[in-house]
Amino acid sequence: MHLVAIGGSDAGISAALRARELDLDTEVTVVVADAFPNFSICGIPYYVSGEVAHWRNLAHRTIADLEATGMGLRLDTVARRIDVEGRKLLVTEADGTEELISYDELVVGTGAVSVRPPIHGLTGPAALGAEDGVHLLHSMGDTFAVMRTLEEHVPASAIIVGAGYIGLEMAEALVARGLSVTQMEQLPEVLPTVDPEIGALVHRQLADHGVDVRTGTTVRSIAPGAAGDPGRLRVEATTTDGQDVVRSVDMVLVVVGVRPDTELAVSAGAAIGQRGAIAVDRCMRTNLPHVFAAGDCVVTHHRLLGETYLPLGTTAHKQGRVAGENALGGNRVFAGSLGTQVVKIFDHAVARTGVRDHEAIEGGFDPVTVGAEADDHKAYYPGSHRIAMRFTGDATTGRLLGVQLFGHKHAEVAKRVDIGAAAIFHDMTVDDISALDLSYTPPLGSPWDAVQIGAQAWVRADAQRRLGDTRAR
C-alpha cells in the first residue's frame, strides 16, 4: 500500500501522520513544492515582528521529526499531473527532472494561493513584485521576500491593502518594527467576519496604536515613485464618497484573502463546488477514484450552513486526518466547521464562532443578535477587563447560532469563544449556556461567567421581543 499526499502544509502532513499512526506497513510519501514542510503560516506575522526569533521556529515539526514517523518527504518537488486511471503522479524535481510516482491512494492538499485584486501595477506582465517592495504574503517564500525588504531597504512606511486577519496581524508586526503603517480596506469596517459594532472596536485599537486606518477605500494603482522620489511607491485609491487618496510609501503589502489552488485536481477531472474549490464528500473523497482532497483547496462542510468555502488551518488539520484515515479504508466523517477564529490586535483580541445575521438568514434561520458587556473576572480583584459580546440566536427555537467577543488579550477571549463553539456544535440553545457548570475564582472569573451574562442578555431581550409581539396581537 502506497499513499501519496500532495502538499506539505496542514492537510497533507495531517493525512500522512494519520496514515502512519494507523498502519506502519503503509508506505507514505509527501510531495512538497518547497523546502518547508509543516510550517505555521499563521505564525508568519510574529516572525516578521521579531517575537519569533528565527523562521525555523515556525515549524510545527522538523524534517527529522516527520521522517522519524516513517513518512518520505519529496522536498522542492512540484506535482504536475495526476494520471487517475494509471494511478500515477507526474512530478518535477528542483533540477527539472521528471518522475512518475505510482500510488494506491492519493490525497490532494494543494492549499490556497493569495488573491491578486485588480489593482493596476499588481497584475499583468509589468506587475510590480517583491524586488520593488510590493508583496503578497501566504508562503515561506513570501515571508523571506518581506524580510529582505525590511532588512535590506529599511523602509520607514508601508501600506497594507486589506484588513482581514493577516492584514491586522501584519499591521501590528510592522508597527513593532517601527514603520508608519496605513491600512486600506474597501469595506465599511475592518475585519468583515464580525459585525460592524465589533469591527469598530478593532478599528479603534489599531488607531490607538498609530495605524492610519482608511476604511471604505479601494486601491486603484500601485506604481514606482516619481523621478524625485526614488525607491518609493505611489499608491492611488478612491473612497466610497469619490475622494481620491494618494500616498507615497516605501513598501506595500497586499493581503485581501486567498482562493483555492485547484488546477492540478481539476485538470485530472475533479469536480468543483463553492468558490471553485474541489468538491468532496464528508469523508473527503473527490469524484475521482482513489483520490481524496483536504484543506484550503476543498469545500467545507459548515455545521449550520452546509457546503461552503472556509479556509482555516484548524479545519485543514481535521480534514487531512479524515482523508488519511479513509485512504487506508476507514470511514471517518468530517464533523464540520463553525468558522471559529481569534486574532490578537496589539493589547486586545477579537474572536468569533458560528454565523452572523446575514449568514443565518441564508441558512434558513430567523436570527436575533443582542450585544452585551461583562467583566472577565470579579471587578473587585485588580486587573479586570470588560468584554464586549454579541450573541446570535434563532428567534423561533432559541438555538445558539453565533458568538462574537472583543476584549483585552488577558481576558481569555479565545477560550471563552470556544465555549460558544462547543455549545453551537452540540445544538444548544442560548438559554442552555446558563446551565453550564463553568469554573470560578475571583481572579479569573465570576459566578456567572462573562459568556453566561451575554447569553442571559439575549434571553432577556428575546423575552421582551416575544412579549411585545403578544401585545401587538
E-assigned strands of 188-325?
212-215, 217-224, 233-239, 244-249, 251-254, 258-260, 291-293, 300-302, 306-308
5 Cβ contact partners less than 8 Å away, ≥ 6 residues apart: 12, 13, 15, 16, 28, 29, 30, 31, 106, 107, 109, 324
Residue type, 229: D
Cα–Cα distance measured from residue 163 to residue 142, given in angstroms and rounded to the nearest whole number: 18
Terminal-residue alpha carbon distance, the chain? 68
Q: Is the dihedral of CA 306, 323, 109, 10 positive or negative?
A: positive
Of 22, 42, 75, 84, which one is the catalytic site residue?
Answer: 42
Q: What is the dihedral of CA 439, 442, 443, 448, to 10 degrees?
A: 50
42 is catalytic: yes
Cα–Cα distance measured from residue 377 to residue 450, given in angstroms and rounded to the nearest whole number: 8
E-assigned strands of 341-396?
341-345, 348-354, 367-375, 386-394
3-class DSSP state of 236 = strand
Active-site annotation, residues: 42
